[in-house]
């Protein structure tokens, strides 16, 4: 312990293949969170849209408030297990709008809500013959950069496509983030080409731990997700990576090591553009 904070602990990234059956998704998510906690993880992260991935016509019925079923379950688990949970993302109801937010929530070990992040960058892409996605047709973009102090270090929140926008991560670093979350559902074509490179780049340039839990395998939309959930250290080394299956990967978070990296190569202090 140092200044009330834990300097070394274990973090877990959960890999899933969520579908349109919310109950089944939540059962799997709970089981995997329990597996991670049983293996000693203090910080557990779920992938993007861990609780539901369905057709746009079903979104209104599946969307929840922050006090809904999915986050209620994760809050109870965090409190019961005494762990911090990043509840990947859920489809959050946005008042009377026909669209919803793609929202990630950080929960403390007492089950309380620490931070809420609404995905800023929406994935609109057309790769002919491979994948077409227009997230903005059904989702609203958020506006706020979110970094929260916790006993495990300051945690910065982001979601999936955000990964391609380094300015967000630099703002998180300047806000004090030591651990950065990237719950994702990267498509296979873009993931195979860019996923590892981008995750490692965000870790290297911000000298931060990056925890990137992901969806994998065929999905309801007719294409496949890349998976390869990973944890990367502040030097850019991949210290945990998931196989092509549902499961949990775990790696140590060593904030003293991070302090050394930032001290020996003080790039963040040398930054002149903010």
- Choose, from 92, 135, 160, 246, the residue flagged as catalytic: 160
HSE (CB half, 13 Å, CA atoms) of 206?
31
- 149 is a catalytic site residue: no
- 167 is a catalytic site residue: no
Nearby residues of 118 by Cβ (< 8 Å), 6 or more positions away? 92, 101, 102, 103, 104, 140, 141, 142, 143, 144
- Choose, from 64, 92, 119, 139, the residue flagged as catalytic: 119
Question: d(Cα 8, Cα 5) in Å, to the nearest integer?
Answer: 9
- 160 is a catalytic site residue: yes
Residues pairing with 240 in the sheet: 231
Nearby residues of 214 by Cβ (< 8 Å), 6 or more positions away? 13, 15, 47, 48, 183, 184, 185, 186, 191, 195, 225, 226, 227, 228, 229, 242
- Choose, from 48, 92, 135, 246, the residue flagged as catalytic: 48
Cα separations (Å) of 259 from 84, 103, 262?
22, 30, 5
Closest CA to 180 of 148, 201, 211: 211
Q: Are 76 and 87 in contact (CB under 8 A)?
A: no
Q: What residues are labeled active site?
A: 48, 119, 160
């Amino acid at each position: 312990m140092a200044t009330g904070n834990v300097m070394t602990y274990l973090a877990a990234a959960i890999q899933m293949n969520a579908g349109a059956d919310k109950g089944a998704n939540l059962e799997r998510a709970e089981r995997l969170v329990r597996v991670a906690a049983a293996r000693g993880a203090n910080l557990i992260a779920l992938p993007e849209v861990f609780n539901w991935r369905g057709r746009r016509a079903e979104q209104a019925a599946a969307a929840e408030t922050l006090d809904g079923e999915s986050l209620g379950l994760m809050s109870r688990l965090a409190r019961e297990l005494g762990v911090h949970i990043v509840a990947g993302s859920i489809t959050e109801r946005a008042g009377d709008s026909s669209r919803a937010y793609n929202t990630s929530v950080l929960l403390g070990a007492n089950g309380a809500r620490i931070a809420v992040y609404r995905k800023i960058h929406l994935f609109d892409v057309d790769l002919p013959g491979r994948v077409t996605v227009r997230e903005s047709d059904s989702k609203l973009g958020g506006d706020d950069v979110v970094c929260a102090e916790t006993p495990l270090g300051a945690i910065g929140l982001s979601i999936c496509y955000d990964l391609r926008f380094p300015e967000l991560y630099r703002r998180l670093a300047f806000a004090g983030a030591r651990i950065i979350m990237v719950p994702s559902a990267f498509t296979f074509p873009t993931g195979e080409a860019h996923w590892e490179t981008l995750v490692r780049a965000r870790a290297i340039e911000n000298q931060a731990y990056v925890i990137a839990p992901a969806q994998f395998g065929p999905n309801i939309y007719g294409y496949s997700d890349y998976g390869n959930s990973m944890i990367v250290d502040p030097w850019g080394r991949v210290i945990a990576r998931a196989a092509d299956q549902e499961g949990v990967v775990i790696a140590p978070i060593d904030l003293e090591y991070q302090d050394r990296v930032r001290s020996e190569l003080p790039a963040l202090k040398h930054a002149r553009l903010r």
